[in-house]
Amino acid sequence: MGMTTGVHGTTFGGNPLAMAVGNAVLDIILEDGFMAEVSRKSLLMKQGLAAVADEFPDVIEDVRGSGLLLGLKCKMPNTKVNMALRDEKMLSVPAGDNVVRLLPPLVVSDDEIRDAVGRIRAAASKLHEMAQPEAVS
């Protein structure tokens, strides 16, 4: 005999701890100024990433995204860029359309943003140097 309607529930359905966590997150997100601060941080990060893209157009073609869900449209294979970022101790993931996805937390600090942009710049610089033809003596 198979399961009938109402016999099986979900594993996490109605979990009181999960509901308390969800409510706590909403309390923080709905605080006055929280989302405005996220927008400010997003702009700071996008400006830093745009400067890296301007400096290394052979590595990063464009900066995409909304808020702090960001992507680097890569000129070279995104898997190569992703590995260079990992070498700089940066977690990222390749995404569709030759993009490397970045997703910092909404509570990221300005110092952490500057550190991340510095690591991305270092990775792009190394990739740029590796792509340059050998100098002829």
Q: Can you give the pTM of this predicted structure?
A: 0.82
13-68 per-position pLDDT tens digit: 667 888 899 999 999 999 999 999 999 999 999 999 999 999 999 999 999 999 99
Whether the CB-CB separation of 35 and 29 falls below 8 Å is answered with yes
Residue 91 CB partners (closer than 8 Å, separation 6+)? 85
Count how many domains the chain has. 1
Structural domain span for residue 42: 33-131
68-119 per-position pLDDT tens digit: 999 999 999 999 999 999 999 999 999 999 999 999 999 999 999 999 999 9
DSSP-based three-state secondary structure for 136: coil
CATH code, domain carrying 100: 3.90.1150.10
pLDDT of 19 reads: 86
Q: Is residue 22 part of a domain?
A: no
43-54 per-position pLDDT tens digit: 999 999 999 999
Q: Is residue 18 part of a domain?
A: no
Q: Is residue 63 part of a domain?
A: yes
pLDDT of 137 reads: 53
List 64's β-bridge partners, or say none: 71
